[in-house]
Amino acid sequence: MSFVAGGRRVVVTGLGAVTPLGTDVPTYWGRLVAGESGIGPITLFDAGELTSRVAGEVTDFDPSDVLDHTEVRRNDRATQMALVTCREALVDAGLPVHLEGELAEMTGILMGSGLGGTNTLIEQIATCRIDGPSRVSPFFIPMAIANMPAGVAGIAFGALGPNYSTTSACASSGHALGESFEIIRRGDADVMLAGGCEAPVADATVAGFARMKALSTRNDEPEAASRPFDADRDGFVVAEGSATLVLEELEHARRRGARIYAEVCGYGATADGHHITAPSPGGIGAVRAARRALHKAGLEASDIDLVSAHATATPEGDPTELMGINTLVGEHARNVSVTATKSSIGHTLGAAGAVAAVAVVKALDDGIVPPTHTLERPDERAGALDLTPLEARERELEVALMNAFGFGGQNSAVVLQRWNS
């Protein structure tokens, strides 16, 4: 199998984030590096009957700070978060929030979401069954369907280029980033707003994951509940959030004097073809995705300094990912730092890849690896890998690999490189 490296170069010029650690990038990044937790008892609904009663909620999210009353009323919470992060990313990139002319036509949006408008779906189905079909909102379908965050953002900001959603469970926004990279490389856009959003902290959603035995039941210690790579992990913590990155063709960014954070230089996507929820043995599907991404980037596994792990804190998923990383990097493992941002914020499902990507870009730019802050007893399958337990590490970083995997065996891998002007 061979790939042709080349095409137009793609850089990151803007960032936006709404997470359980904060509703903008500086707050999110600052608290992440400090090893703080955004996980607490569920407050968005009564979780008293559930076995898992903790979540990563965005407790200080007020969409009316940015969106007008109509935008708030007619959009699901996930879409609201996407609009806020798109706006922050555009402003950070020095781009107008109302695009016009050729810039509008050459700007697209890909927004990944695993579940779409979860809250709207649950609420409106209940309304239909309890109060009758005449009480269902006329905005039910537009608010619930998974493509609407990208669609509404295109309307709000005047982006007229490629616009759709990627839905591959928890790999959704990883695929959105990678596909946006490919869109720019082949010349179909000069600018892409690439990201993800999810607002899954709802009774039926949490109950569904709980029934799968996928969630942590460490209800008495919420801040310690999400424990990626730890020997005492007992499942993931559901979380909500959104993140958006402005990807831009290099010469386009240079012509307008944009600040460049990092370069996106490779992307790989594969399928395990193995099981609806369990990863392929040894993580070989993820390894193949990473190798494809590295090949497109013209890099070797020995060039990797940082891996942003998918690392949800499940008993089976974490060790499989560790085996895959070790297979990929081999003897270079002793030089590789691994970070698991879900230790601080929980698992934002379809938004997870984009939320992690913002942290990766900041890590490359600042030379800091954020900690896996709940890691006290590292899984022995880590081998020589540095899992960055408890505290952030300052180190020189040039190349990072970001993993994002989804139920159904869908894998994405994105390679980013520190920008050297």
Beta bridge partners of 14: 246
Same domain, 288 and 362: yes
- Distance of alpha carbon 375 from alpha carbon 197, whole angstroms: 26
In a domain, 19, yes or no: yes
Question: Same domain for 308 and 390?
Answer: yes
List residues bridging with 285 in a β-sheet: none
Q: Report pLDDT digits (tens) over 319-376.
A: 999 999 999 999 999 999 999 999 999 999 999 999 999 999 999 999 999 999 999 9
Residue 261 covered by a domain: no
Query: Are 361 and 393 in the same domain?
Result: yes
Q: Of 175, 295, 347, 373, which is the active-site residue? A: 347
pLDDT tens column, 96-106: 999 999 999 99
Q: In the chain, pLDDT over 70 holds for what percent of residues?
A: 99
If asked whether residues 321 and 375 sit together in one domain, one would say yes
Which of 255, 277, 308 is the C-terminal boundary of a domain? 255
In 3-state terms, what secondary structure has residue 7? coil
- Residue 77 counted as domain residue: yes
Say yes or no to pLDDT of 288 above 70: yes
- Of the three residues 255, 279, 308, the one that is the final residue of a domain is 255
CATH of the domain at 221: 3.40.47.10
Residues 284 and 148 in one domain: no
Tens of pLDDT, residue by residue over 187-221, are: 999 999 999 999 999 999 999 999 999 999 999 99
In a domain, 2, yes or no: no
Instruction: Say whether both 302 and 243 belong to one domain.
Output: no
Q: Is 170 a catalytic residue?
A: yes
Distance, CA of 328 to CA of 290 (rounded, Å)? 8
* 221 shares a domain with 292: no
Residue linked to tokens 């810039």: 103
Count of C-beta atoms within a 10 Å radius of residue 254: 13
Least confidently predicted of 68-77, 229-238, 298-307 = 68-77
In 10 A of CB 396, how many CB atoms? 7
Residue 4 in any domain: the answer is no
pLDDT top residue among 420 and 385: 385
Q: Classify residue 375: in a domain, yes or no.
A: yes
Query: Is the domain of 278 the same as that of 184?
Result: no
| SS3 call for 400 | strand
Look at strands 10-18 and 262-271 and give their pairing: antiparallel
Which residue's entry shows tokens 């002793």?
Answer: 334
Is 70 exceeded by the pLDDT of residue 5?
no
Catalytic hit among 86, 170, 197, 265: 170
Count of domains observed in the chain: 2
Q: Which of 265, 202, 239, 276 is nearest to 350 (CA)?
A: 239
396 and 315 fall within a common domain: yes
Q: Based on the domain organization, do 91 and 194 belong to the same domain?
A: yes
- Give 379-417 pLDDT, tens digit per residue: 999 999 999 999 999 999 999 999 999 999 999 999 999
Instruction: Please tell me the number of Cα atoms within 13 Å of 192 on its side-chain side.
Output: 29
The whole-number pLDDT of residue 68 equals 87
Select which of 175, 252, 295, 310 is catalytic: 310
Among 255, 286, 310, identify where a domain stops.
Answer: 255
In terms of domains, do 151 and 272 share one? Answer: no
Residues 246, 271, single domain; the answer is no
**Residue 310 designated active-site:** yes
Q: Inform me whether the pLDDT recorded for 111 exceeds 80.
A: yes
Domain that holds residue 377: 267-418
